[in-house]
Amino acid sequence: MTKFKPSTQVDFVIVGAGAAGGVMAKELSTAGFQVVVLEQGPYLRESDFTYDEKRVRDTPQLVNDHALQPNTFRKTEQEKAVLAPAISYGRCVGGGTVHYTATHWRFREIDFIERSKLGPISGTGLDDWPITYADLEPYYTKAEWDMGYSGLRGGSPFESSRSKDYPLPPFPNKSSGVLLDRAAAKLGLHTSPIPVAILSQPYKGRQGCVHCGFCEWFGCKVGAKSSSLAALFPVAEKTGRCEIRPNSYVREVSVDKSGRVNGVVYFDAQKKEVMQKAKAVVVCANGTETPRLLLMSKSSQFPNGLANSSGVVGKYLMFGTGASAHGLFEHPLNEYKSIQATRSIEDFYDSDPKRGFYGGGRIDARYGFSGPIGFALGGLPPDVPRWGAEFKKACKDANQTLTLQVFATSLPLETNNITLDPDVKDAWGLPAMRVTYRDHPDGMKTKEFFRAKALEILDAAGATKKWAGPVGETRNGGHLMGSCRMGNDPKTSVIDKFNRAHDVPNLFIVDGSSFVTSGRNHPTCTIEALAYRAADNAINMAKKGSLKAPVS
């Protein structure tokens, strides 16, 4: 196994071993560069993963632990933030790609140009991306073939153009998908097979899915989920030029006198401070930890935080939002088997001015619970007693219940942001992450719209009973996007269109924080494509010598 001394100046140090970190590590190391990847979480393998639902619920093995890293939350900047678990993200080698559902949607052409198409929305930061779908298309394709995706080209009438098929066929349709097909036919809507980052067949020496059903919140025990853990880091390590250093919690990206970054300072597993020297730094720490790290990296050159001359670092945070509804059916669906969802309705994807508000989304039908415990605690209709004979009877409906899950837009607002909490500290003595977040009124209307749509679709699918909780304001987030947005203007954005910091020539920022808009709340596929593109560019720059060793 490759080991670098911290005092050795490696070519790249990557902070965060998630979706983007995996792509960057693999691309840079296979291109001949020395890479150190620092991951705050553990390095787990397939054999460490479990089907034990209780353990996964009780102990944050794969995700962040709020006991160690508390968040504070407030709705507006006028309020005092209070302790609350506001953020959820993957915290292990592989990041969120280890425990996620792995539905894997590309953005569409419209997602990059909504501002031009819809016009400005006052009080929001809705903007076009500095790149288009066409710029990213080759990299979506690269991600799909490199990592192993299953899907059907042309499966959706709304699909943006593709240069290549998926490498693997889509998964067999589940009962939830058949019911969604049925409802769509009745309502004049369309369904399409959901592309997933899970192998429907063996691919590149990895085995295919065994349909165990334990995708969401669980690590894949057979390596069929195309996480960066299964698909990318093994390739990077094989080069002999990539060292993955788990349990390494980065507290600062350091800069030299010329204002270039020269490495990172982190706490190792024993909480000892270590500085890893590097010619260039790639921050892939996610849409909330990335801005936090930049804000903690204050220096005389960067008094407001690294790469923050614009003041935009941390701002325009977008959480994944949506709505859900549940239905009961006459016959067993057995939704706990196989991947979470196989069919989706995309007819309401685009924001339609006729609705009177900004917002769009995608509706899928799925198993909405983590397993038997999740169902018994959270899957029953609201009118059923929570104990006694009636409760027990209702539990028997587990296999006849499904969820319609909506993934919808969030608007970028300057007032939704990540800052450093002035009072609360984490277990390493660093300022806790303070989250300020409140849905835009159009976001609430979007949720209401889709809640009603989901109930209508359940009716059309033949549900014998249906229910949906009331729509509420977003108080915690996964799918963390937008807090170091990409743009052409250094005054209003943090990174350029190749994910390089406007202020620092040898600093790259690649993860959900790069997003200008939220798409329809499925960020991972686009995070990966951005990373492949950023890596291509960083490799070219490095080969031309523009990332050469900084003066120290």
Partner 1 sequence: MSKRKTSRREALFNSASAFGSAWIATHWSGILEAQEHAARAVKSAQPGKLQYFTPEQAAEIEAVTVQIIPTDDTPGAREAGSVHFIDRALATFDREKQPVYVQGLKDLQTKTGEMFPGTANFSALNANQQMQLLKSIERTPFFQQVRLHTVVGFFSNPEYGGNTEKIGWKLIGFEDTFHHQPPFGYYDGNKQA
Residues binding partner 1 (CB under 8 A): 47, 50-54, 57-58, 172-175, 177-179, 202, 207-208, 210-214, 221-222, 329, 331-338, 371-373, 375-377, 386-389, 391-392, 395-396, 398-399
Taking alpha carbons only, the member of 61, 4, 13 closest to residue 38 is 13
Q: How far is the CB of 498 from partner 1 (least distance, A)?
A: 40
Closer residue to partner 1, CB minimum distance, 53 or 511: 53
Q: How far is the CB of 403 from partner 1 (least distance, A)?
A: 14
Closer residue to partner 1, CB minimum distance, 151 or 177: 177
DSSP notation for 76-143: STTSPPEE---B--B-STTTHHHHS--B-PPP-GGGGSHHHHH---TTS-----SS-HHHHHHHHHHH
Closer residue to partner 1, CB minimum distance, 175 or 288: 175
Closer residue to partner 1, CB minimum distance, 66 or 211: 211
Taking alpha carbons only, the member of 509, 325, 451, 420 closest to residue 71 is 420
Taking alpha carbons only, the member of 323, 319, 542, 338 closest to residue 447 is 323
Q: How far is the CB of 324 from partner 1 (least distance, A)?
A: 20
Residue recorded with tokens 């892939």: 284
Closer residue to partner 1, CB minimum distance, 158 or 391: 391
Q: How far is the CB of 384 from partner 1 (least distance, A)?
A: 13
Q: How far is the CB of 367 from partner 1 (least distance, A)?
A: 10
Token pair listed for 230: 């299964």
Token pair listed for 460: 């059309």
Q: Contact 81/74 with Cβ under 8 angstroms?
A: yes
Residue 495's Cβ-side half-sphere holds a number of Cα atoms within 13 Å equal to 31
Closer residue to partner 1, CB minimum distance, 200 or 297: 200
Q: How far is the CB of 328 from partner 1 (least distance, A)?
A: 13
Q: How far is the CB of 198 from partner 1 (least distance, A)?
A: 14
Distance CA 50, CA 254 (A): 38
Q: Contact 504/258 with Cβ under 8 angstroms?
A: no
Closer residue to partner 1, CB minimum distance, 131 or 222: 222
Q: How far is the CB of 196 from partner 1 (least distance, A)?
A: 15
Query: What Cα–Cα distance (Å) separates residue 357 from each residue in 125, 322, 323, 441?
Result: 15, 15, 16, 9
Q: Contact 541/547 with Cβ under 8 angstroms?
A: yes
Ranges assigned E (strand) in 211-340: 242-245, 249-255, 261-267, 273-283, 321-328
Largest Cα–Cα separation, the chain: 74
The sign of the dihedral angle between the CA atoms of 515, 230, 89, 27 is negative
Closer residue to partner 1, CB minimum distance, 333 or 516: 333
Closer residue to partner 1, CB minimum distance, 172 or 311: 172
Amino acid at 76: T
3-state helix, strand, coil in the chain (%, to 5): 25, 20, 55
Q: How far is the CB of 105 from partner 1 (least distance, A)?
A: 22
Which residues are CB-contacts of 82 (< 8 A; sequence separation ≥ 6)? 72, 73, 74
Closer residue to partner 1, CB minimum distance, 16 or 177: 177
Q: How far is the CB of 210 from partner 1 (least distance, A)?
A: 4
Q: How far is the CB of 214 from partner 1 (least distance, A)?
A: 7
Token pair listed for 215: 């995708």
Q: How far is the CB of 393 from partner 1 (least distance, A)?
A: 8
Taking alpha carbons only, the member of 471, 526, 499, 514 closest to residue 28 is 499
Closer residue to partner 1, CB minimum distance, 405 or 436: 405
Q: Coil, strand, or helix at residue 24?
A: helix
Q: In what order do the strands lie in the sheet with 431-436?
A: 82-83, 71-74, 431-436, 417-425
Taking alpha carbons only, the member of 395, 351, 402 closest to residue 183 is 402
Q: Contact 294/253 with Cβ under 8 angstroms?
A: yes
Closer residue to partner 1, CB minimum distance, 117 or 337: 337
Q: How far is the CB of 94 from partner 1 (least distance, A)?
A: 18
Q: DSSP character for 305? A: -
Q: Contact 100/524 with Cβ under 8 angstroms?
A: yes
Closer residue to partner 1, CB minimum distance, 47 or 270: 47
